[in-house]
Amino acid sequence: MKGKGLKGNVVTYTALISAFCGENNIDKAMQYFDEMLSSGCSPDAIVYYSLISGLTIAGRMDDASVVVSQLKRAGFGLDRACYNVLISGFCKKKKLERVYEMLNEMEETGVKPDTVTYNTLVSYLGKAGDFATASKKVLRKEKCNYYQRRIVAERKFLKHVIQSSIDSDVDYALFKAKTRDSPSDLCISKAGERNLSKDSRPTMPVEFLISSDAL
């Protein structure tokens, strides 16, 4: 832009950088970012977030970390979406120590992990076969007692569903022997499997539900 005798401002550079990041042209985005800094324009949070996301998606985690440092020096902080992007990127690069660094930083800054955060961690650790770490480091370290209890309850509920399906199959066989199928009581899936009607589907017993008071 300077080569054409044009002078950009914060709005212009922000639009250009965001656009090139969106097109996965990170080199061009970084070129305008450097030009923006040299021209005396101060990047806003949108510029930093766009670059961090674009660099992470491109697998350039070292460059993304540099931009994170610049963001912090400029007085901005990472939000949950940005942390999730970085955690995903570090997981793909198998840099687990950086992942935990991000998690610790989230806790220190009061940014709470969400389902995206945990799904990313569990998926990575599961693929790595590190189920012990997934349980101890992720669930316990991040105070996921609620999720631990929920997993236990869902396992119990699954057993209940399986048993209910067996009982229902017996009832269905007896029903077929006596009368014809009724569309209101029975539906056939595309795969040819029989599904229970809404009224006869098993529900989670009261003893399997988790009270928020117990967490």
| Domain boundaries along the sequence of the chain | 1-77, 147-214
Question: What does pLDDT average to over the chain?
Answer: 75
- The pLDDT score that the predictor gives to residue 26 is 93
Q: Phi, psi at residue 62, to the nearest 5°?
A: -65, -45
Residues sharing a CB contact under 8 Å with residue 127, sequence separation 6 or more, in sequence order: none
- The pLDDT score that the predictor gives to residue 206 is 43
Looking at the domain that runs over 1-77, which CATH code has it been given? 1.25.40.10
- The pLDDT score that the predictor gives to residue 163 is 67
Residue 155 structure tokens: 């396992």
Collect the ranges in the chain with pLDDT lower than 70. 1-7, 130-215
- The pLDDT score that the predictor gives to residue 149 is 55
Cα distance between residue 131 and residue 136, in whole Å: 9
Q: Beta-carbon neighbour count of residue 77 at 10 Å? A: 12
Predicted TM-score (pTM) of the model is 0.60
- The pLDDT score that the predictor gives to residue 188 is 41
Cα distance between residue 120 and residue 87, in whole Å: 8
Q: Using one digit for the tens of pLDDT, what is the confidence trace for 38-85?
A: 988 999 999 999 999 999 999 999 999 999 999 999 999 999 999 999
Task: For 119-156, give the DSSP string.
Answer: HHHHHHHHHTT-HHHIIIIIIITTT-HHHHHHHHHHHH
